[in-house]
Amino acid sequence: MFAGFDLRAQNDSLAQLYNSGLENFNKGKYETAIALFSKALNLDSNNIPTIYCRALTYKMSEKYHEAELDFSKVISAEPKHYNAICDRGYCRTKQKKYSQAIADFEMALTIDSSDLKIFMNIGNNYFLMGNYKTAMKEYDKVVRKDPKNISALYNRANINKYYENFREAIEDYTSIINIEPKNSSAYYDRGNIKKELKDYKGAIEDYTIAIKINPDYADAYLKRGSAKYDSGLKSEGCLDWTKANSYGNAGAKDLLKSFCH
């Protein structure tokens, strides 16, 4: 929620429109808030608090282009406006303007280099660009400063898996599990790597834990079934595929038809 600014000394009508805009924003009435902020800006087009609040309202409304334009006006007037820079970077990411978003987040780092979310955002944009190795470097920075950062560990694990750095990926998934023992996705993903390495026993153990945590985990039933089948436990594999099918996994039906009679 925003707090109102006392703009009465500037213009009573401007203050009324501005504060009405804030009230509607805080109630989630974004279209009304945008209209009110726009009317206020008709009275004073250079009022930075109003431009910034309209930008945030556009952002909340997922009107990212309009938000970007307003954030740019704020930054032009206040080049060190940290929140506006970060928010513009976010809006640019949403518009797939990844290079421009990275430039914004790097600008933010010149103001506050302690905010690990900025390194994450830079890494995420490089990832979305397909530049996985550079993304990895950003996630490494986060993990070095915050070894329990689940998002950075997960993203780094997925990149390691992509490059078939399986040992490193397993280490990251294991770190996640140590931090969050109930993270069924981490067990599932670690199981997938073990299955890829033909460590069927280890894979089955991980899938089993994932299923205990999340009993309707259809994908885990499917993959556990495959690990069992490939390790020679064909009837048990078919039972898992039957369970996966009952939970709506699209691939299980074909496996049952092809391999289970």
Residue 132 pLDDT = 98
On the 0-12 / 13-18 / 19+ scale of CB atoms within 10 A, 178 is exposed
Residue 261 pLDDT = 80
Residue 7 pLDDT = 46
pLDDT for 206-218, tens place per residue?
Answer: 999 999 999 999 9
Residue 87 pLDDT = 98
What percent of the chain has pLDDT above 90?
95
CA separation for the pair 178, 63 (Å, rounded): 40
Better-predicted residue by pLDDT, 69 or 7 = 69
Residues 6+ apart with CB under 8 A from 34: 21, 54, 57, 58, 61
Band of pLDDT at residue 8, cut at 50, 70 and 90: very low
What percent of the chain has pLDDT above 70?
95
pLDDT for 178-191, tens place per residue?
Answer: 999 999 999 999 99
Query: Is the per-residue pLDDT at 145 higher than 90?
Result: yes
Q: What b/e string do you get for 14-51 counting C-beta neighbours within 10 Å, with b at 16 or more?
A: bbebbbbbbbbbeeeebebbbbbbebbbeebeebebbb
pTM equals: 0.89
Residue 2 pLDDT = 53
Query: Is the per-residue pLDDT at 4 higher than 70?
Result: no
Query: Is the per-residue pLDDT at 12 higher than 90?
Result: no
Residue 177 pLDDT = 98
CA angle at 68 for the pair 84 and 39, rounded to the nearest 5°: 90
Asked if 53 and 2 count as a contact pair (C-beta separation under 8 A), the reply is yes
Report the chain's mean pLDDT, rounded to a whole number: 95
Band of pLDDT at residue 11, cut at 50, 70 and 90: low
Asked if 108 and 82 count as a contact pair (C-beta separation under 8 A), the reply is yes
Domains and CATH numbers, the chain: 1-112 (1.25.40.10)
Please give the backbone phi and psi of residue 102, each rounded to the nearest 5 degrees, phi first: -60, -40
Query: Is the per-residue pLDDT at 242 higher than 80?
Result: yes
pLDDT for 194-241, tens place per residue?
Answer: 999 999 999 999 999 999 999 999 999 999 999 999 999 999 999 999
| Average pLDDT of the residues in 232-251 | 97
Asked if 66 and 58 count as a contact pair (C-beta separation under 8 A), the reply is yes
Query: Is the per-residue pLDDT at 1 higher than 70?
Result: no
At 125, is the secondary structure helix, strand, or coil?
A: helix
On the 0-12 / 13-18 / 19+ scale of CB atoms within 10 A, 62 is exposed
